């Protein structure tokens, strides 16, 4: 067991940026938890691997249904994430602008822990615009979905490029 941990630590020691974010799931979970998501271990869930966090209030906690953000990481291997998803549930439209600003800040700060800058790609959050793009060769999708009444969700998904496989990470950024 200790030998496997040492091998794993050596294998990821030089990873940076997106390679490190996707290639060291336990670290990504730890970084997400710094924002209060309380995500559990990245663990096997059927044929895939998954971690999900608890909702974090991102505006007016005294609202009947406060706006919340969630975090999820998923993949097909214990050693790599294939997808990172942040979702904002706008359930208190009166405080939507504050929630969108805080949500975008959380996502940007999460990326900054890996020295990744979005270059304005996340500006679509505040504008509530669906958008597909790339940040340093990594696909990012921002999807806005209507809910009941004025409720809606904004989902930001980062996807590990297919060129990189869990056993053979390629430099992504």
- Report field, pTM of the whole predicted structure over 0.85: yes
Kind of pairing, strands 131-135 and 138-146? antiparallel
Spatial separation of the C-alpha atoms in residues 31 and 12, rounded to whole Å: 16
Q: For position 172, what pLDDT does the model report?
A: 40
DSSP category for residue 7: H
> Given the structure tokens 């930001």, which residue do they identify?
156
Q: For position 166, what pLDDT does the model report?
A: 43
Q: For position 2, what pLDDT does the model report?
A: 54
The end-to-end CA distance of the chain, in Å, is: 31
Q: For position 9, what pLDDT does the model report?
A: 65
User: Which residues of the chain fall below pLDDT 70?
Assistant: 1-12, 163-173
Residue 82 CB burial class (10 angstroms; 0-12, 13-18, ≥19): buried
Structure tokens at 91: 């359930």
Interacting residues of 160 by C-beta distance below 8 A, sequence separation 6+:
18, 22, 75, 80, 81, 82, 83, 138, 172
Q: By C-alpha distance, which of 83, 86, 81 is closest to 26?
A: 81
Spatial separation of the C-alpha atoms in residues 146 and 9, rounded to whole Å: 43
Question: Taking a C-beta distance cutoff of 8 angstroms, is the pair 144, 128 a contact?
Answer: yes
């Amino acid at each position: 067991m200790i030998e496997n941990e040492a091998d794993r630590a050596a294998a990821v020691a030089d990873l940076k940026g997106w390679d490190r974010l996707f290639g060291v799931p336990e670290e990504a979970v730890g970084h997400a938890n710094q924002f209060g998501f309380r995500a559990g271990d990245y663990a096997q869930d059927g044929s895939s691997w998954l971690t999900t966090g608890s909702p974090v209030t991102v505006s007016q906690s005294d609202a009947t249904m406060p706006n919340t953000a969630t975090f999820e990481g998923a993949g097909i291997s214990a050693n790599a994430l294939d997808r990172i998803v942040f979702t904002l549930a706008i359930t208190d439209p009166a405080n939507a602008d504050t929630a969108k600003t805080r949500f975008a800040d959380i996502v940007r700060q999460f990326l900054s822990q890996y020295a990744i800058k979005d270059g304005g790609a996340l500006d679509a959050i505040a504008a509530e615009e669906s958008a597909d793009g790339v940040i340093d060769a990594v696909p990012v999708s921002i999807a806005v979905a209507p809910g009941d009444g004025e409720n809606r969700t904004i989902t930001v998904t980062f996807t590990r490029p297919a060129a990189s496989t869990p056993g053979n990470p390629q430099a992504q950024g």
